[in-house]
Structure 1
Amino acid sequence: MRRIVGIVLAVLLIGGVVVAVAAGRDNGDTGTATKTVRAVIGSEKAEFFGDPDVVKALATKGYTVKAETSGSWAMEGLDLKGYDLAFPSSQAPADELAAKYKARQPLPVPFYSPLVVVAHRGAAEVLAANGLAALEKHRGTLKMAAYLDAAAEDRTWQQLTGADKYGELTGTLYLASTDPESSNSGALYLAAASYVAAGGKVAASDADVDRTAPLMRKLVTVQGAQQSSTDATFRDFVSGAGNPLVLVYESQVAALLSEQKSVDDLVVLYPDTTANSDHTVVPLTDDGRALGELLSTDPGLRELAVRHGFRPQGSAAEFTRATAAHAEYLNQKLTGIRQAPVPTSEVLHEMARRARG
């Protein structure tokens, strides 16, 4: 995957390590940047901001971005004085930050990405053979209701027909996800799962959280220790380590495919009910808002966002056209995929807290 360039600083901040990416300083960039914008971003966007082409495109518009990564939900605990923007991975933590720092609405939302499950072919074929997934060549659909039933029953791989052919498919069947108390993808996983478990009702009260809490706790505690970012879990999967089923952002898969990496064994499963990750800018200064709006509207930056696997807001055609060569892996139009509404940040926090125990 594209190397994150210019890693110059690692600081421990309230519950999470934040890594600074001083974009362009080690790339011989000779752009005309006149404004330095400090940003704290979700880790899944670090490679975007570290891409020399992005650095150059921003420089021609008059910006140098110094970005530090953090779990999206962990941003609430950071002191953002001196920063120009926060860039979490979905609307709920963005709304929390906007309220805290009195950021002017509307908030720029340059791009988004749905949650998907990456699987090795053997695991995907076993799920399909047991009614938990529908499978095409390199992509398919995870049947969320069937999967949640299996999770509620603590079903193991050994109980699934055909799993005995694969030595790595042992133990309890589960999706590996990130820590929902600090990471956006982990929280969105609970949002989608609770919506399905409640029969298509979004959690809006303590009583709603109570009804699905035992199952949400199973989904999380079966995993043991969880990573705080999808970047780490996706890298583990690509290297062949970790769980055979991993919840990641579609953008990470699309970026990998765009680099023409060897992915013959990869199957991308789209949960039939999932949640979109709306990457939302929380401007803390005028420069931060100007940069957020630039990311949303500039054609060159939108094209670079697609290269990194993100879906630009407002134009599905850009993503479809750019990923045409990888249509056998990607559900470009999200056909047959239902978007689960996401609870308020207060409800989602409580859901995550209960799930973690």
Structure 2
Amino acid sequence: MEIRKLIAPALAVVLLAAVGAGVWYSNTRLHDESATATAARIEQEKQVTLRGLIGSEKETFFADPRVQKALAAQGITVTVEKAGSRAIASRYDASKFDFGFPSGAPAAAQLKTLAKAPNVFNPFYTPIVLASWRPIAEILVSNGIAQKQGDFYYVVDLPGLMAMIEKGTRWKELKASSAFSTSKSMLINSTDVRTSNSAAMYLALASYLANSQQIVQSQEDVDRVMPVVAPLFLRQGFQEQSSAGPFEDYLALGMGKAPLLVAYESQMVEFWLKNPDRLKSDMVLLYPKPTVYSKHVLVPYTPGGARLGAALENDPTLRELAHEYGYRTGGDTKGPETWAARGVKVPEVLVDVIDPPSFEWLERMTTGIEARFK
């Protein structure tokens, strides 16, 4: 009987301990599962899949597995659809896209207004250049239009070049033109100004010169320059809608197709970086003086779009990859110094640079030219 009295309390203590341990284990397990679920939810919230409208020249950048990996490390996956900068500015739709990424500041400013975006991002930029050939550059040097700078050429007198074009000067009429003694009129080839940013930047330059070297900013200015700038595009015949097509023709067909082509510096630099054997070819860059920068501005429509803009603007890995595609960036290393180490030498700083007109006045000139095409 005494043994029973002793055993009963002991059993009760063991039973209580077992129940307590079971409750503790159950609670710990639930807490761990809850913590795991919370961590998974937070991680899932960090991952975003974004869709955006971009200029065609950035398509290969976003398709690069290294770019995709760098973005994935920040929880960002991007799918893109390409369009001309003018189209991007008119296709704002936050229900379909997280961001717009045109190739020019005027289109981006219009897009910022439509999106009511508090901030925009400027991850990279590139100057407008003329893609040309050594024999053409030598002809321009002989006629006082260009000056040789190392292995590259700077157009030091864009007003003089445009004056020759406006007069209808033929190549064979120039001094020392035996390398290109053709009856073709001097003309700068471009993309279609109705769709493409590089052509719009050429229009910005041409209108600046036609407006007594003042930026177009009134209807009076537009009316003054239209008789001068419209023929620059109307005389070209067929024009591609994006900058990729004419540049491919430039590479494939040589100077006979387009002795002077409006291009982005980034296109030439990217090509040389990927094809260093072509550094000793006759391909040369002509820097118009003045020139204009094409600023690639990302306009976010959603918080995810803003995350992408911040990543492109601030991540060192993504900046280095932008340099691989010929873009200049912010940061300590801006691009030209990196390219020089690989034999691609361009001016580190361009001084004579103008701003393009606002979207309103650029659009009025563009629609004026568009009406003359019909």
TM-score, scaled relative to structure 1:
0.85
Deviation at 1:138, TM superposition (A): 3.0
Once the two structures are superposed, the pairs formed by residues 21-36 of structure 1 within 5 Å of their partners are: 34-36=47-49
* Counterpart selection for 2:264 from 234, 249, 259: 249
- Report Cα offsets for 1:126-163 as digits up to 9, x if no partner: 11111221123431112211011112101111211222
Once the two structures are superposed, the pairs formed by residues 197-276 of structure 1 within 5 Å of their partners are: 197-241=210-254, 242-259=257-274, 260-263=276-279, 264-276=281-293
Question: Could you say which residue in structure 1 is the equivalent of 2:103?
Answer: 89
2-structure distance, mates of 1:156, 1:313: 42
Secondary structure of 1:275 counterpart: strand
Question: Could you say which residue in structure 2 is the equivalent of 1:281?
Answer: 298
Once the two structures are superposed, the pairs formed by residues 1-357 of structure 1 within 5 Å of their partners are: 34-78=47-91, 80=93, 81-104=95-118, 106-142=119-155, 143-166=157-180, 169-241=182-254, 242-259=257-274, 260-263=276-279, 264-315=281-332, 317-325=333-341, 329-334=345-350, 337-356=351-370, 357=372
Gaps of 5+ in 2: 1-45
1-structure distance, mates of 2:195, 2:77: 28
2-structure distance, mates of 1:298, 1:54: 11
Answer with 81-90 or 69-78: which moved more: 69-78
Deviation at 1:320, TM superposition (A): 2.8
Deviation at 1:240, TM superposition (A): 2.3
Deviation at 1:208, TM superposition (A): 0.6
- Residue pair 2:336, 2:346 contacting (<8 A) in 1 also: no
2-structure distance, mates of 1:40, 1:177: 22
Deviation at 1:196, TM superposition (A): 2.1
CA RMSD of aligned residues (A): 1.8
- Report Cα offsets for 1:198-224 as digits up to 9, x if no partner: 232111101111111111012111211
2-structure distance, mates of 1:200, 1:306: 32
Deviation at 1:339, TM superposition (A): 1.1
Deviation at 1:321, TM superposition (A): 2.3
- Report Cα offsets for 1:75-112 as digits up to 9, x if no partner: 134363321101001111011112122222x2111111
Amino-acid identity (%) = 34
Give aligned pairs, total. Answer: 320
Gaps of 5+ in 1: 1-32
- Residue pair 2:171, 2:180 contacting (<8 A) in 1 also: no
Structure with the larger helix share: 2
When Rg is computed on C-alpha atoms for both structures, the one with the higher figure is: 2
- Residue pair 1:139, 1:328 contacting (<8 A) in 2 also: no
Which amino acid in the other structure matches residue 177 of structure 2?
A: A
1-structure distance, mates of 2:366, 2:244: 20
TM-score, scaled relative to structure 2:
0.81
Deviation at 1:56, TM superposition (A): 1.2
Which amino acid in the other structure matches residue 149 of structure 1?
A: A
Which amino acid in the other structure matches residue 82 of structure 2?
A: T
